[in-house]
Chains A and B, each alone.
Chain A
């Protein structure tokens, strides 16, 4: 199964943009890139996903490198409520199972 690599932690100031990087050099052509976040004492929450093109939704933007070996989750204006662990996941389609393989994620700290 393809793996992802993320920094253990990052800090951002409130109301500033945040760029959360993810490396996935062994990604295969059919693997989707998903981002989830997990707030304290809650289950993971879906943020965004994409395959090849950049994606935008009300929560964030996802920028995918042309060779798909890396991606960046962009929070346009961080708020204190965005403090969470952010997981970059490759939804592997190996054997048709569409598994999520979680790593250890990036803990984002937002400073007031």
Chain B
């Protein structure tokens, strides 16, 4: 069974540019998560989706970050415009439901110059 797929794996952009990350969860998983991981730290939740509904986005910086999960499967996380402090790894995870074990993708490492 395929795991959580993320692309791109690496992205380098200049500050003030837009950037988007894509996630394809494990088939049949209704819950999808986006996490931010800074160097040397554990992941921090940005947003959680139940199917296509964002049910917990309290930690998402809404002035520059946005996310969508059309049709309740794939998801995209966008930053516009990117700032130097956004350099980090962006992880996507999915689970059958919000009560179940989360499975993580490999992440996208973003470098903002």
Report the separation of the CA atoms of residues A97 and B99 in the bound assembly, to the nearest whole angstrom: 8
Report the separation of the CA atoms of residues A104 and B44 in the bound assembly, to the nearest whole angstrom: 11
A97-B56, A98-B98 given; A41·B106 CB < 8 A: yes
Q: Cβ of A43 and Cβ of B106 under 8 Å apart?
A: yes
Contact of B104 among A34, A43, A97 (CB under 8 A): A43
A residues within 8 A CB of B99? 98
Q: Cβ of A44 and Cβ of B56 under 8 Å apart?
A: no
Chain A proximity of B105: nearest CB distance (Å)? 5
Q: Cβ of B42 and Cβ of A102 under 8 Å apart?
A: yes
A residues within 8 A CB of B103? 46
Q: Cβ of B42 and Cβ of A87 under 8 Å apart?
A: yes
Q: Cβ of A102 and Cβ of B44 under 8 Å apart?
A: yes
B67 at interface by CB-CB < 8 Å: no
Report the separation of the CA atoms of residues A60 and B102 in the bound assembly, to the nearest whole angstrom: 18
Q: Cβ of B106 and Cβ of A42 under 8 Å apart?
A: yes
Report the separation of the CA atoms of residues A97 and B107 in the bound assembly, to the nearest whole angstrom: 23
Interface residues of B in 62-86 (CB under 8 A from A): none
- CB-nearest residue of chain B relative to A36? B104
Q: Cβ of A46 and Cβ of B106 under 8 Å apart?
A: no
B8 at interface by CB-CB < 8 Å: no
Report the separation of the CA atoms of residues A105 and B43 in the bound assembly, to the nearest whole angstrom: 11
B47 at interface by CB-CB < 8 Å: no
Report the separation of the CA atoms of residues A97 and B56 in the bound assembly, to the nearest whole angstrom: 8
A residues whose Cβ falls under 8 Å from a Cβ of B:
34, 36, 41-46, 49, 87, 97-100, 102-105
- Mind listing 26 A-B residue pairs with CB under 8 Å? A36-B104, A41-B106, A42-B106, A42-B107, A43-B4, A43-B93, A43-B104, A43-B105, A44-B43, A44-B104, A46-B101, A46-B102, A46-B103, A49-B101, A97-B56, A97-B98, A98-B98, A99-B45, A99-B56, A100-B45, A100-B102, A102-B42, A102-B43, A102-B44, A103-B42, A104-B40
